[in-house]
A and B are shown apart, each in its own frame.
Chain A
Amino acid sequence: MMYRTKGKAVILAVAIAVSMVVMGILLNGMQERLQLESLDHEIRQEAAELPGVLQAAADETVGNEETFDAIYQSKAESVAFMARNDVGFEASDAKMREYKDLLKVDNIMVVARDGQVVAKAADTKANFAYDRFNALRVTFDTGKASDAVEIELPERGWLERYYACALDDDSMVVIENSPSELRELVDGTSSTASVLKDMTVGRNGYVMAVSARDYLVTYSPDTAVVGADALEAGLDVSELEDGNFFHAEFNGEALYCGVFQIDDAYYLYCVPEADLAGSRAITVGVILFVFLAVMAAVALYGIFVMQEGLRAGAGEGSVSFGGYRYNKAIGKKAIVLSIVGFLAIVGVAFYMQTLFALSSQAVANGQRCAEVSETLASNTKRADVLEDQYAQRYLDKNHLAAYMIERNPELVSHGKLVEMADALQVAYVYVFDGNGNMTASNTSQRSYSLSNTYGDSSYAFRSLLAGKDEFIQEPSVNASTGEVDQWLGVALYDDSGIASGLVQIGVRTSNLATLMKSLQIDHVLDGVKVGSEGFAFALGKEDDTVAYYPNAKYIGKSAEELGLEKTQIKDGFSDYITVGGERYFANCTELADYYLFVAGPEGELMAERGPLSVATGVIALICLLFVFAVLSLEHRAQGEPGEQGRPSARRGHRGSDARMVNVVMADGRTKRTESAVSRWLNGSMAWNEKSPEQKLATVIRWFAGVGVFCVFLAVVFGDRVFSSDSVFAYILGDDWERGVNVFAVTASIMYACVAITVATIAQWVLRLLSDVLGTRGETVCRLLSSVVKYGMVVFMLYWCLGVLGVDTATLLASMGIITLALSFGAKDLITDILCGLFIIFEGEFRVGDIIQVGSSTGTVMEIGVRTTKIKNGAGDVLVLRNSGISNVVNKTKLDSYANVDVVIPTGESLPYVENVLSRELPKVAERVPEILDGPFYKGVVELTDSAMTIRVVATCSETDRAALERSLKREMKLLLSRNDIAPYQLTCEHDEAEPTADELMENAAQLKEADAFSEQQANAARNVGNDARK
């Protein structure tokens, strides 16, 4: 039998180990597959949009280039205009240098058709004789400024763009300028990098571009990688095929990648494996831990029960079928444990999936929010820079116009001004005289005067006649054309330096407007993606209306119409929202003018949760069924004795140190419990003394202890192990919403784990201290230990309620009021409830204990919230109010003592009596089965001049004590009489004669009859007349 138990234990251990491995692999694999599936889906979706996005970016780049080129083409044309219109132009180096400063270009030259440089402001690296510059010579045919020719040779420090405009049939003006400003603009707004930078895959994934030509990384969010050889960094060239998904190691980081080829580049959607594995590892780890705990608990419990059965001699009922025997006792308990364990596993699996899905979404949302607000902030700065840049550019044109008019007043005519506006590429040119009256313009307007009324838009230009050199007006909508125009003015001076008029130009700011638009919030939010369905939207701060939403029909609506509540519109919000009838998990960030929301739909989040929980449940069920079968079924071997002998009434280990006690519950079931004294002893119980339930409790405590300690370590050292953007850090951070949600609950559990660990360690230290200190020290230590325990409970309750969104300060205050109110009506009720709680917390007694409260003694049936029910020996149920339970004597102990005092006359020979007792007491022990040990002669307990009282005691269980005392008294009477000890002798005189054999036999027969009667009567009256257990 022992051998069989061991065999089963081995089978179970192997089974658990195997099921752990299977569970681990299966869960991990399944979660990975689900993760990758959803990633694939997301990547494909994004990749499908990529060509369009890149095309748009390319178009924008072309637009940017055209705008940039137009500026310099206009400058070249201006020079040509000046050359044609006698504004002091000459092909000399000095003049070129003057123009270079005036036009704010890097270099300006006059070049002959054959490439000969006639005049130059600075040296150039270019040889215009080469065919390379043929594109410039096109200007001789068109008469307009040429297209740009760009030369980029970084090794020679040569990056220039060239523009030409014909001066006459044989010479042209060439402007040389660095395109670095253009490059910056393109990099910032429309380059591939600027497009890819906003793309994300999964939570921390990104897009990387690799040239299909030379396998160099052309874009990666990690700028250190840009320009590196992708193959050297670890990518396999055979994997780089359009539409391929693969795992790769890139720069030492494991990635999951999807590749798409567009033109000459591979676009790699990369997700760090660590991200995937990280969330997997913790989820799977926690589920596995719970699984192990449940499986081990069920299996160990079964084994403990089997061992106990062996020791007690397995006499339980069993049902046989086939060649197997079903052990009912183990089976029943194992079933209950299995069901509870199964629910625990499924619950934890579901909980962990929810927790990780939500928290990683929250982390991703938060990151996205931060990125967007960063982008918007830098965009605001960029917009300011752009505005200044454009204003400066327009002003340059205006100054140029003034320069020309001052040098050649004949240009002030409608015809010339039209040409000039063309060359300068401005919409309007107006020239005013010293009185503010228009002298000429490029428009059909006949006359116009600057307003004399303060506040009119044209009034401000009068300041130019009053000594101001230049003036820039804010852009405004032209009432007649509906276009946005901006007006600038520059003063004209006569030879003596007195302001003699002004030149006003009007420009269309559409280019600037287009540029500015790309920096606006809707343009930024348009590119924000969270998962495959997630998106961002923004609410205007002033009126809470939707400023941007991917679906245009919501734009302009109020937050309520969208489905948002007031409480959700605040900085740092992170919880579920319902928008347009769909539930999203969203984060909110407050920006300068907007509330920014980043949201991911619930369905996408929870896609993994269901299947994984079900898979976990199914595996757990199979494993539990197997363990159950191994535990409760055993092979029926032939010839094995069914019973292992009767349980002996005298247990092997006795005495006051025995700490396990059998108690009879009110309904008659017998259970083992710890004796009252043992509960308050510090020393732990020997393993073998424990009941299976206690062993199970110990095992579960171990598991819980390990779990709690792990959480404690994670919380305390978490910031060193987990990065700040990890899910774990998120839960420990305070960014989630207070309230009953998965984060608050998790955080509460985690904080509780920390508190429990700290309290346990403190208690352990105190216990160690109490061992070495004296009794006073021990008193203090026990008191401190109690304080630590209650302090921890109260603090945790207060803290966790706070975390769960209960306003604890208000709660405490209102508690006082409630108590005050109740103290009049239901004071006792509150007291009862509190007393009940304390009885349970303090562990004064448990169900099944035998206690004495005041004069009543009985078995505890139930500890209720308000009352405690005790069944006394007479079978009456005493209902005691918890507040009334004081001065409790807990009599739950292993053995009681029955004692019998017998009064004997002082004259009797004590040695004779003691000899009789020594002879007779063992016989008594044989005759009375209730006696567990003894009876023992305790000696003389009282002595007077007439009588002495001797005491005999015997050990028994508390339940047998009253009956045993009766039996013992009877036995004492019989043995005293038999031995003729006064005054109990049968006859009043000492009979010296030996009794005859007949007399002896008769006495024996009589005694037997009396014994039988006494026993029969005692049994019949077992449940009658037991008041006060007498």
Chain B
Amino acid sequence: MGSVFKARWAVCLLAVCMAACACLLGGCAAGEASGGVLKVGVRADVVGFSSYNEHTGKFYGAEVDIAEELARRLGYAGAEFTAVTPESREEMLQRGAVDCLIACYSVSDERSELFDFSPEYCTDSIILVAQDTSLIKGIDDLGGCTFGVMSGANTAPQLARHLAEVGFSDGKQLSASSDGCDAEYDTWHLMMYSSYQELSDALESGEVDVMACDGVIAKAYLNDERVILPGFSIDPQRYAVATQKGSALSGRVGDAVRGMVDDGTVAAIIDAWD
């Protein structure tokens, strides 16, 4: 009986030791990533910044190039890309599925509490796009209109705040559907869509009267029959690289991005894709 006990103790000890070793090794791998790959979360649907091509299975765009340059500067062998959506990206970074986000992810106070941000590599602003047959010419024609936004992006709160600031609305949400995708405000209505294509289709069919999104994204969905409403923009959207709060990577990423911005690398990349 005693020998059985002893054997069990030995197995336990061994397991603990192995676990410790694994932790150590894991720690080493995380801390000193030199030679490995940098796992980057990028968008799959923002043409020009990062879009996924089904034929080649690769991502293309300015953010992709920035990520590769970043990985090079940090001493990685390369960058590995994972598609993220506005809804999933925060969770994926928190979970560690990706090392960082370079995904048209803009800096905000709320987000800064959750993640570390590098200096911004690009700035943008939220704009409104309408069909010209709706005869909406400016913000004055928007009373009672339906605004379409991308769910998961921070466009909706910013839009609500901005509309309140300019005196268009009192900013209070009157009602909302259970998933929050269909909300009613005093002078306007909010609809959320899970992809930009759906958002654009809703604008085409008339379900939404105006589409609110980041300028770079809106550009991809402009055509002859759509207009950007003049005199409306929510500035600035500062796109930056997000890393886990307090991670060892944060500082190095910040330095590398600052370096890339300072020496004109980022400007050159964005210019090439413009």
Residues of A at under 8 Å CB distance from B? 125-127, 130-135, 138, 147, 149-153, 155-156, 158, 213-215, 229, 231-232, 237-238
Contact = CB atoms under 8 A, between A and B. Distances in A.
Contacts of B222: 213
A132 B206 CA distance: 5
B53 A229 contact: yes
A237 B47 CA distance: 12
Contacts of B135: 131, 134-135, 138
A151 B207 CA distance: 12
25 contacts: A127-B207, A130-B206, A131-B135, A132-B205, A132-B206, A133-B133, A133-B134, A134-B133, A135-B135, A151-B204, A151-B206, A155-B201, A156-B201, A213-B47, A213-B222, A214-B48, A215-B47, A229-B55, A229-B60, A231-B53, A231-B60, A232-B53, A232-B58, A232-B60, A237-B273
Interface in B186-208: 201, 204-207
A150 B225 CA distance: 9
Contacts of A131: 134-136, 145, 206, 209
Contacts of A151: 204-206
Interface in B89-105: none
Given A130-B209, A132-B209, A135-B132, 6 more contacts: A125-B205, A131-B209, A133-B206, A138-B135, A156-B201, A215-B60
A149 B225 CA distance: 10
A214 B55 contact: no
B220 interface: yes
Contact of A214 (B47, B206, B209, B272): B47
Contacts of B252: none
A125 B209 CA distance: 17
A150 B220 CA distance: 20
A237 B209 contact: no
Nearest to B58: A232
Contacts of A214: 47-48, 51, 220
A145 to B, nearest CB: 15
A125 B133 CA distance: 17
B261 to A, nearest CB: 19
B272 A132 contact: no
Interface string B52-92: 01011010100000000000000000000000000000000
Interface in B123-145: 131-136, 145
B206 A127 contact: yes
Interface string B26-59: 0000000000000000000001100101011010
A495 to B, nearest CB: 45
B8 interface: no
Given A132-B131, A134-B135, A213-B220, A237 B272 contact: yes
B: contact size bracket: 20 to 34
A156 B225 CA distance: 19
B219 interface: yes
Nearest to A138: B135
A229 B52 CA distance: 11
B207 A130 contact: yes
Contacts of A238: 272
Interface string B210-236: 000000000110100100000000000
Contacts of B205: 125, 127, 130, 132, 151, 153, 156, 158
Contacts of A237: 60, 272-273
B163 to A, nearest CB: 17
Nearest to A135: B133
Given A132-B209, A153-B201, A213-B219, A232 B47 contact: no
B27 to A, nearest CB: 39
A213 B48 contact: yes
Contacts of B209: 130-132
Nearest to B141: A131
A132 B55 contact: no
A161 to B, nearest CB: 11
Nearest to A231: B60
Chain B CB within 10 Å, residue with most, of A132, A147, A153, A232:
A132
Contacts of A153: 201, 204-205
Contacts of B55: 229, 232
Contacts of B225: 150
A213 B206 CA distance: 24
Nearest to B203: A132
Contacts of A126: 206
Contacts of B207: 127, 130
B133 A132 contact: yes
Contacts of A231: 53, 60
Contacts of A134: 133-136
Contacts of B131: 132
Contacts of A133: 133-134, 206
A740 B208 CA distance: 75
A132 B134 contact: yes
A222 B272 CA distance: 27
A232 B56 contact: yes
B187 to A, nearest CB: 14
A229 B134 CA distance: 32
Contacts of A155: 201
Chain B CB within 10 Å, residue with most, of A152, A155, A231:
A231
Contacts of B220: 213-214
Contacts of B132: 135
Interface string B222-261: 1001000000000000000000000000000000000000
Contacts of A132: 131, 133-134, 205-206, 209
Nearest 7 CB-CB pairings of A with B: A132-B206, A130-B206, A135-B133, A131-B134, A214-B47, A238-B272, A134-B135
A616 to B, nearest CB: 41
Nearest to A158: B205
A261 to B, nearest CB: 11
A188 B206 CA distance: 30
A819 B207 CA distance: 98
B14 to A, nearest CB: 52
Contacts of A215: 47, 60
A132 B148 CA distance: 14
Nearest to B134: A131
A837 B102 CA distance: 89
A503 B86 CA distance: 65
A63 to B, nearest CB: 16
Contacts of B201: 153, 155-156
Contacts of B60: 215, 229, 231-232, 237
A238 B58 CA distance: 17
B151 to A, nearest CB: 19
B246 to A, nearest CB: 36
A156 B51 CA distance: 24
Contacts of A150: 225
A857 B225 CA distance: 105
B130 to A, nearest CB: 8
Nearest to A129: B206
Contacts of A152: 204
A525 B208 CA distance: 48
A232 B51 CA distance: 12
A638 B207 CA distance: 105
A127 B222 CA distance: 22
A133 B51 CA distance: 33
Contacts of A149: 133
B226 to A, nearest CB: 11
Contacts of B134: 130-135
B2 to A, nearest CB: 70
A343 to B, nearest CB: 53
Nearest to A147: B133
Contacts of B51: 214
A286 B267 CA distance: 50
Chain B CB within 10 Å, residue with most, of A130, A153, A238:
A130
A149 B131 CA distance: 10
A650 to B, nearest CB: 83
A338 B34 CA distance: 66
Nearest to A58: B224
A819 to B, nearest CB: 75
